[in-house]
Chain A
Amino acid sequence: DAGVTQSPTHLIKTRGQQVTLRCSPKSGHDTVSWYQQALGQGPQFIFQYYEEEERQRGNFPDRFSGHQFPNYSSELNVNALLLGDSALYLCASSPDRGSYNEQFFGPGTRLTVL
């Protein structure tokens, strides 16, 4: 089992550009959550996808959008990048079995906006 994988590992963009980050969940998991972690802080919840729909969203602007595919993999898209979007973006997967389940995290994508 490869666990949760994310691509790319690192990314450098300039202000105003758009970026797409990708996540493949752990085998057997159907729920994907995305988090943003700024330097020196704990992660902040962006949104969660289940059955190809956004189930819950944190306090992030509409510039942040996502998608989940039939194979449960997911993308995070960020438009009109700002310097403040520079962060480690973490993807987590979990099985959906009624009550809340343990989330497993990928290695993250380090986004730098210049």
Chain B
Amino acid sequence: KQEVTQIPAALSVPEGENLVLNCSFTDSAIYNLQWFRQDPGKGLTSLLLIQSSQREQTSGRLNASLDKSSGRSTLYIAASQPGDSATYLCAVAGSNYQLIWGAGTKLIIKP
């Protein structure tokens, strides 16, 4: 049974810092991994999707990596801004059409 864990559960850093969020999964047989952002009380915004054959994806100040063999993904945020404050969730997709989610990392960027 696939399990997804995100560490840390919460993170508070000063504006301008580079930071890394972690996601680990127990079953390496995945189709892809997605990173999402969720603002308080809101829905989900897809940030990056990494297919199982890929090692990383980049969008602006965001870079996500995937290491299937070790069951790990990282989301790197460069030059953090207060507007980056949100909860970041990762989800893995397997062959049964389901997305399996971590509980998220709540990120606070202090001005």
Main SS of chain A's interface residues?
A: strand
A90 neighbours in B (Cβ, 8 Å): 43-44
The docked-state distance in angstroms from the alpha carbon of A55 to that of B31 is: 18
Number of interface residues of B (CB under 8 A): 26
Bound: A68/B96 CA distance, A: 19
Report the count of interface residues on A (CB-CB < 8 A): 25
Determine whether the beta carbon of A33 is less than 8 Å from that of B97.
Answer: yes
Q: Which of B42, B94, B99 is the most central at the interface, judged by chain A CB atoms within 10 Å of its CB?
A: B99
Residues of B within 8 A of A (CB): 4, 31-32, 34, 36, 41-46, 49, 89, 91, 93-104
Knowing that A41-B104, A43-B101 are A-B contacts, what are 19 other residue pairs whose CB atoms are under 8 Å apart, sorted by A's residue number? Answer: A35-B99, A40-B103, A42-B89, A43-B44, A48-B97, A48-B98, A56-B97, A56-B98, A58-B98, A88-B41, A90-B44, A99-B31, A100-B31, A100-B94, A102-B46, A103-B99, A105-B36, A105-B46, A107-B42
- Pull 22 A–B residue pairs with CB atoms less than 8 Å apart, ordered by A: A33-B97, A35-B99, A40-B103, A41-B104, A42-B89, A43-B44, A43-B91, A43-B99, A45-B98, A56-B97, A56-B98, A88-B43, A99-B31, A100-B94, A100-B97, A102-B32, A102-B49, A103-B34, A104-B46, A106-B43, A108-B42, A110-B41
